[in-house]
Amino acid sequence: MTANPVAIAVFLILFVLVSCLGFVATKWRKADLHSVHEWGLGGRSFGTLITWFLLGGDLYTAYTFIAVPAAMFATGAAGFFAVPYTILIYPILFLCFPRLWAVAHARGYVTAADYVQGRFGSKTLALAIAVTGIAAIIPYVALQLVGMQVVFAGLGIPSTFAGIPNLPVIIAFGVLAAYTYSSGLRGTALTAVVKDLLIYITVLSAIIVIPAALGGYGKVFASIDPKQLLLAHGSDTSLGGTFSYASLAFGSALALFLYPHSLTGILSSSSSMAIRRNAILLPAYSLALALLALLGYMAVAAGIKAMPEYAAGFKAFGNNFAIPALILHMFPAWFVGLAFAAIAIGALVPASIMAIASGNLFTRNIYKAFIAPGCSERQEGRAAKLASLSVKIGALLFVLFFPTSAAIQLQLLGGVWICQTLPAVLLSLYTRWFHPIGLVAGWIAGIVSGSVMAWQLSLKSSVYPLHLGSLTIPCYAAVLALLLNIVVAVVVSLAMNAAAPDRADETVPADYRA
């Protein structure tokens, strides 16, 4: 694809500006960034507004910007499930996570695994939560780098310079690694503000300009195959697409705030009230996502599949190139640079939080718990930084040496895995009835069954057709695995509670008052 100097210039100006903000953040609210508490959680000092930008930048990633409308472009209404699930998550955020913030603040917990260790006194269970979080997050980071690759391809920037393959992605990775290492969550919070503003400018411009050029929303929807506008109905033998759609939305809503990067954003808040306010304010992002998803239908209406912009990127990125191709086709070069900068910066922000969250988990729940129990606060901070750097390097190597489809498949599997931490993290906020051995047994059952279901689907889908007699129930594998997880946890806990009812719990009821 031919490079456009104007688009590249605008892109580079914005990208460099935001990267500089990441480094400047070391001077913002100056603190000891050798401490995990300060580097990894921003000193728990972010108020309502910064938390709003941080969580928005964290949850609505570059890959979301590309993949959600791409799913609408390719499959129609089924790809819209991301919108209802981002609506369902906010009641969960409002009800549950102020309690988790309160106990974490009272006890100095930095990660969900810290809380589980304190609640149940089980290093094994805490290790299971930490390992699950790290495993689920690495392909998520890789997908952000894939988003950058799509942007560079759209700008016409060659992937190879001076004989070095993927040099633009490597340089972007270096920028991400450097400012994350130096400024921690503070740098991410500042860049999130700019990222979100650019995303809103891009989305609002697109939903006004593109439909107007295509003859209005009526013509956009008229160009879509009616079969793609509605979900498949159930029958006497199958619950159909509507049930799988609902299970995907429900399971994804349960999982989203269990991801380590989501919890890091929550625990960095200055108060439980800031979290509640964000549960009320964050649905603005769901509105933006719904409008963004419609770009998939606009790409169909614009005939993107027949255009050279799409053909140039299709071989490498498939339908994920549909929206960049639409932007290239419908906007002037300067706006293309702005929109692509929004996507690229939308990769930097969540990738940074994900790497920080992984570093926190490794340091607090593996390094400090098993390798160096007597480490100093400074040693702990250095280990977190190095661990976060290792995660970024792992994600970069994954992108460089494996096909894009592998990152997508593992990210689907990561969603199944992270959902299995729900009983130990969320249910325990309200009851200690579950025994830690029961929770470990349930976790194993959920991880194994969810992985087997995904493997049987060849890692190409996460909707598993469960056969009960003559009835087929197409359901999100994470939900089925979670149900088995809870059943096993209940059965084993019944037995273990009868044998050993007394268990350690360093928290007290007053800790949960948010």
Structure tokens at 447: 């991880």
What pLDDT is recorded for position 423?
97
Helix, strand, coil % in the chain, rounded to nearest 5: 80, 5, 20
3-state secondary structure of 359: helix
Report how far residue 12's alpha carbon sits from residue 14's, in angstroms, rounded to the nearest whole number. Answer: 5
Residue 392 near residue 180, CB atoms below 8 Å: yes
pLDDT in tens, 89-143: 999 999 999 999 999 999 999 999 999 999 999 999 999 999 999 999 888 888 8
Residue 208 buriedness (CB in 10 A; 0-12 / 13-18 / 19+): exposed
pLDDT in tens, 368-392: 989 988 888 888 889 999 999 888 8
Residue with tokens 């990633």: 61
Is the pLDDT confidence value at 425 over 90?
yes
What's the predicted TM-score (pTM) here? 0.91
| Other Cβ atoms closer than 10 A to 281 | 16
pLDDT in tens, 197-207: 888 888 889 88
Average pLDDT, the chain: 86
First to last CA, the chain: 54
Q: Which domains does the chain have, with CATH numbers?
A: 5-232+240-405 (1.20.1730.10)
Confidence of residue 25 (pLDDT cuts 50, 70, 90): low
Structure tokens at 190: 């500042």
Helix (H), strand (E) at residue 120? helix 112-120
Report how far residue 267's alpha carbon sits from residue 346's, in angstroms, rounded to the nearest whole number. Answer: 21
Report how far residue 185's alpha carbon sits from residue 287's, in angstroms, rounded to the nearest whole number. Answer: 26
Give residues with Cβ within 8 angstroms of 86, minimum separation 6. Answer: 59, 253, 256, 283, 285, 286, 289
Give residues with Cβ within 8 angstroms of 276, minimum separation 6. Answer: 94, 98
| Other Cβ atoms closer than 10 A to 452 | 13
Q: State whether the Cα torsion 423-429-435-436 is positive or negative.
A: positive
Confidence of residue 478 (pLDDT cuts 50, 70, 90): very high
Span 65-74, mean pLDDT? 85
Give residues with Cβ within 8 angstroms of 433, minimum separation 6. Answer: 493, 497
